[in-house]
Amino acid sequence: MVRLMRILSRKDVVNYSRYWPDIFSLEKKKLEKALADNQVAIHHVGSTAVPDLAAKSQIDIIIVTYNQKLAAKQIEQLGYESKGELNIPFREYARKDNFNIHILPENHPDIEMLLLFRDYLRDHEEARIAYEKLKKQLSDNPENHYKNAQGFTEYTLGKNKFVRDILEKAGFKRYSLKFCLHHTEWDAYRKLSGDSQEIDTLANYFVYYKGNEIIAAAKVKGRNLEIIQGKELSEMQHLIEKWLVYKAQN
């Protein structure tokens, strides 16, 4: 076990390690015990789940659960620190050392998205090689590792177009509610909403995806839906109302 944990000590992009799946399997057993009946599935995702793909030595894990907030509390006994929702609606995020945990409810679109992306890279060598090249290029620039106001680095944001292109090829068509994070999402928000005001730090800004296409945008302040524009607004509004209820839960 000590040897396996040493493999996770690097923060830069390193060559694939055949030990990464073993590290995931060991942690999965601990998570299963801690979660008891509050689990549907546990998946290894991200670059360390793709054989022969260079990656940062960080194990990304999806927990599909019946109760996200409870699951976040249950895994604290394993040393995980809960970070709350952290940039993705309805997701609870937790981490320790080199483990990143994405706690999601059943049928959350990000489950399918992350699994589709992982499986496409597993099955398409050309895409895997191209992704590795991009990751190394982004990682080599020290400035790409500074976090922005939302906690993202250009290393992460710089992969967005590649990821979206792969999801298009993989046939990802799900509707999904997202916070505005990437500059393309902010551009889409302003275009769809007509909102030219400065960003209100007390508000939440959303975009609504159909597959890779942003079809609607909204602004929520407190419990008030101040702006909603675009297509299929009733579905987006329903998700926002559901999100407001979720946020109000302890």
The label of the residue with tokens 């049928």 reads 107
For residue 195, the Cα-to-chain-centroid distance in whole angstroms is: 26
The Cα–Cα gap between 189 and 178 comes to 11
Residues 41 and 111 in one domain: yes
Question: Are 114 and 11 within one domain?
Answer: yes
- Please write down the long-range contacts of 85-94, taking CB distance under 8 Å and 24 or more positions apart: 85/247, 86/151, 87/150, 87/151, 87/152, 87/179, 87/181, 88/178, 88/179, 89/177, 89/178, 89/179, 89/206, 89/239, 89/243, 89/246, 90/243, 90/246, 92/68
The per-residue pLDDT for 151 is: 60
pLDDT at position 137: 86
Q: Coil, strand or helix: which one is 169? A: helix
User: Among 118, 135, 155, where does a domain finish?
Assistant: 118
Give average pLDDT by consecutive 10-residue segment, the chain, 250 residues.
43 89 98 98 97 95 97 97 93 96 97 98 97 88 65 74 94 96 93 95 96 97 96 97 90
Coil, helix or strand at residue 249 = coil
Residue 129 lies in a domain: no
Same-domain check for residues 188 and 93: no
Distance of CA 2 to the CA centre of its chain: 28
- Pair 109, 181 in one domain: no
CA nearest 23: which of 47, 10, 5? 5
Q: How far apart are CA 138 and CA 117, in angstroms?
A: 19
Indicate the residue type of 75: I
Instruction: Return the SS3 of 116.
Output: helix
Q: Is residue 141 part of a domain?
A: no
In a domain, 200, yes or no: yes
CATH (domain of 100): 3.30.460.10
Determine, yes or no, domain membership for 197: yes
Region of 194 on the Ramachandran plot (φ > 0 left; ψ -120 to 50 alpha; else beta): left
Say yes or no: 101 and 208 in one domain: no
The answer to whether residue 11 is domain-embedded is yes
Domain boundary among 118, 133, 162: 118
Give the pLDDT score at 22: 97
- Token match 């191209």: residue? 130
CA max distance for the chain: 55
Based on the structure, what is the number of domains in the chain?
A: 2
Q: Which tokens is 127 given?
A: 């895409």
CA angle 135, 100, 121 (to 5 degrees): 40
| β-pair type (55-56, 92-96) | unpaired
> Does residue 134 belong to any structural domain of this protein?
no
Q: Is the same domain home to 105 and 37?
A: yes
What 3-state DSSP class applies to 10?
coil
The closest alpha carbon to 203, from 179, 230, 234, 185, belongs to 179
76 and 10 assigned to the same domain: yes
- Angstrom distance (rounded) from CA 99 to CA 35: 16
Q: According to the model, what pLDDT value does residue 4 have?
A: 44
Token pair belonging to 36 = 């008891």
Clarify whether residues 46 and 111 are in a common domain: yes
Give me the domain span that covers residue 31: 2-118
pTM here is: 0.89
Do 109 and 183 reside in the same domain of the chain?
Answer: no
Whether 64 is covered by a domain: the verdict is yes
Residue where a domain stops, chosen among 118, 139, 154: 118
Q: Is residue 152 part of a domain?
A: no
